[in-house]
Structure 1
Amino acid sequence: MIRLLTILLCSSLLGSHVSGLVFAETPLQAKIQRSANRGIEFLKNRGQAADGSFSGETGVAVTALCVNAILQHRPQAINDPGIQKALAYIESKFQGDGGIYATGSMYRNYETSVAVGALVQANREGRYDSPLKRAEMFLKGIQWDEGEGIETSDPSYGGAGYGKHKRPDLSNTSFLIDALRDLGNDEEDESLQKALQFVVRSQNLAHQGNDTPHADQVNDGGFYYTPAAGGESQAGAAEGGGLRSYGSMTYAGLKSMIYAGLSKDDPRVMAAMDFIAKNYSLDSNPGMGQAGLYYYYHTFAKALDAAQVEVLDDASGTPHPWREELTDHLISEQQADGSWVNKKSERWMEGDRQLVTAYTLLALAYCRD
């Protein structure tokens, strides 16, 4: 009762209305919205092709990320002609097996997973209920598990991959987990728990579910790309053996563990947070330099938001209110035309302004206080 009265009083003082609990914007939210508006205008006016796609050579992936990003900041844009054209483009990639991807794509899990995020945001009056249910069945069907003849002892078990490589990876597995969560699955979902087994095997942490040969060679609590098929880290091998942890995969691992139900006092979560504290950076993707920098920012923001972290103390004890810091950094990197682009590394398509602008808009959405 006291809480409700407080809400009513605050609402009255702020000049807002309680129906829908709409309150005045904070300075941080206003700053984010101004920057986001510029990014959205770039996508609408300069980033979209005549067929409704954004960077259509990627299949449905970048289009879906852009739709999701725009609707995160402007839910009312659902009826804008540009959004409707983009949704029609996504719909043109609905496949008979339930997946959402370009015909012949080698990135079926990735395309379908990010398309799910967009369609969940765009779903009104059940418009996408059926294709979303079919997409869920598709994603669970291509997960590496018993259906592919994989036993639980196999390092590939529970993971998801692009399809062009004969092994799953943590990046795709985190996209799968995001999609399953977007679709309403909670931590008790069987597929999420299978995915968790793959995730913990991707962590440099011994005796906590990682039974791979790499578990205790680095042991810094961070994550690498994949434990499957002998293991691989995009950051390379560590001196003396093992696979080097790096920033973007550690945030992906942290987020995935939380979504799969691990608590903040779980040793695996605590170890990931320790790595993050020791390697806090907005200037680079720790372990990778400038490569994958905006993917890193997006995953950084989504993971810390999921972990309900507001202030992060780094290795020296310096506190970082990460929402404000990341917001200010991203705004400082915004281009004159409203877009963002990785000028220092085009690896993983980060020379593509549509993709990088979508990553940034999504990151900014998680920076809202």
Structure 2
Amino acid sequence: MMTRIFRGMTTPTLAVVVCAASLAPITLVRAESAGKTAAPENLDYRIDQMVDRGIEFLRTRGQTENGAFSGETGAAVTGLCVRAILEHRPAAAVNDPVVKKSLEFLKSKIQPDGGIYETGSLYRNYETSSSVLALVAAKNASDDGAEKYDSILRRAEMFLKEIQWDAGEGVSPDDTAYGGAGYGSHSRPDLSNTSFLIEALHELGNDADDEAIQKALKFVARTQNLAPPEGTDVGNDTAHGEKIGDGGFYYTPAAGGQSKAGEEPNGGLRSYGSMTYAGLKSMIYAGLTPDDPRVKAALGFIRENYSLDKNPGMGAQGLFYYYHTFAKALDVAGLEVVDVEGGETHDWRADLVNTLEASQQEDGSWVNRESDRWMEGDRQLVTAYCLMALAHAKK
């Protein structure tokens, strides 16, 4: 069975690694100077080497003149890049001119409704949630963070809760869209955006009992291939819930349902890796425990489909987004190892480090060379995914 070490029933905030030096601009602090050995088997040392190179790429080659790391989706990629840097170098980076310029770019996208997005954007939830992750990290690293960021973050929180699909959008709890979040236009909600919403609300201090998070949990449960046990409402109560039953997750139950991995002949929506880890993380933030059948089923899918060679069900598509959700979910779940079918035990942190070491480019970036679907040809975005994944690989 899978080894589970949940850190109690509460979820920890995202871990950060603090550099002792105060640097502007950042002078990267190597692992040797922190008293760590250079032994190849020392994961933290190896992570530091990759992180130094990845951050230096973003700082020296990744930023545009206006402070954005990528303007293709408004504030979203910039928010993720800033968050990625601050997770590793909070005290040093928050005062670095490069990061400060990006923070000003994010603040320039604040809209009258409290959202943080490009005017006319179709990605309002994605942009705002990503910006919240960056601004919370900046607040926590700043001496005057409360004064700078509290009002912005309060308004962003209200905006995110307002655009969640619920009675305000004319949908009831019986509707398959209920509780979800989409990109922020009037398109249907999906699990990826809902997981960003839940994480942003969690980072803003909302606990598992928060009404918006519990609404979102209802949507998340409907993206899982798990029919409710007889006599209960635990699990996916849509027509798709019982068609596959492998415990994994798909993209959305709304508007008839869709999986990016396609359908089975019986109409079942195929589970895939990145959404399963996003679903697991979201359920834990929503307060589900390791004994909950939904968590058990998700862990069962992970056990049977453990891989770092591919995004299970999708191959190379969305591979680096997968690494990002993989690391976050397993860390938030408190899992140290994964015991897969056949009894083999995997140290997921070591597997992730080995994989990302092998795929880092000479310039310090990462990029998906096999598939550019979902913007994975964008080095800034993919580098942010990898840096955030590595933050969760540190012990």
TM-score range, shorter chain: over 0.9
Secondary structure at the aligned position of 2:338 is classed as strand
Q: Does 1:59 align with 2:74?
A: yes
After the TM superposition, which residues 33-52 of structure 1 pair with which residues of structure 2 at under 5 Å, given as runs?
33-52=48-67
Partners of 2:130 and 2:262 in 1: CA distance: 27
Partners of 1:220 and 1:195 in 2: CA distance: 21
Partners of 1:67 and 1:161 in 2: CA distance: 23
Q: Does 1:137 align with 2:152?
A: no
One of 384, 391, 395 as aligned partner of 1:358: 384
CA apart distance, 1:163: 3.2
Partners of 1:213 and 1:295 in 2: CA distance: 28
Highest relative contact order (Cα 8 Å, sep 6+), 1 or 2?
Answer: 2
- Aligned residue in 2 for 1:309: 335
Q: Does 1:298 align with 2:298?
A: no
Of 244-253 and 203-212, deviating more is 203-212
CA apart distance, 1:166: 2.5
One of 236, 245, 258 as aligned partner of 1:219: 245
Give the CA RMSD over aligned residues: 1.2
- Aligned residue in 1 for 2:131: 115
After the TM superposition, which residues 83-162 of structure 1 pair with which residues of structure 2 at under 5 Å, given as runs?
83-123=99-139, 124=142, 125=144, 126=146, 127-162=148-183
Q: Which runs of 4+ in 1 moved over 3 A?
A: 23-26
Q: Which amino acid aligns with 2:199?
A: D
Partners of 1:305 and 1:25 in 2: CA distance: 22
Gaps of 5+ in 2: 1-19, 21-33, 229-233
**How many pairs were matched up?**
348
- Aligned residue in 2 for 1:77: 93
- Aligned residue in 2 for 1:5: none
After the TM superposition, which residues 334-349 of structure 1 pair with which residues of structure 2 at under 5 Å, given as runs?
334-349=360-375
CA apart distance, 1:314: 1.0
Partners of 1:324 and 1:184 in 2: CA distance: 31
Does the CA contact (< 8 Å) of 2:126 and 2:184 recur in 1?
no
Question: How does the TM-score come out when normalised to structure 1?
Answer: 0.93
Deviations 1:277-323 (A, max 9, x none): 10000000000010000000000000000110001011121100001
Partners of 1:215 and 1:165 in 2: CA distance: 25
Partners of 2:73 and 2:220 in 1: CA distance: 26
CA apart distance, 1:149: 1.2
Q: Which amino acid aligns with 2:77?
A: V
Secondary structure at the aligned position of 1:113 is classed as helix
Deviations 1:6-62 (A, max 9, x none): xxxxxxxxxx9xxxxxx9658221211111000000011111011111011220011
Partners of 1:223 and 1:209 in 2: CA distance: 11
One of 199, 205, 219 as aligned partner of 1:184: 205
Q: Does 1:195 align with 2:216?
A: yes
Q: Which amino acid aligns with 2:87?
A: Q
Indicate the percent of aligned positions where both proteins have the same amino acid: 65
Distance 1:103 1:31, change over 3 A: same
- Aligned residue in 1 for 2:257: 231
Gaps of 5+ in 1: 1-15, 17-22
- Aligned residue in 1 for 2:309: 283
Q: Which amino acid aligns with 2:218?
A: Q
Of 352-361 and 121-130, deviating more is 121-130
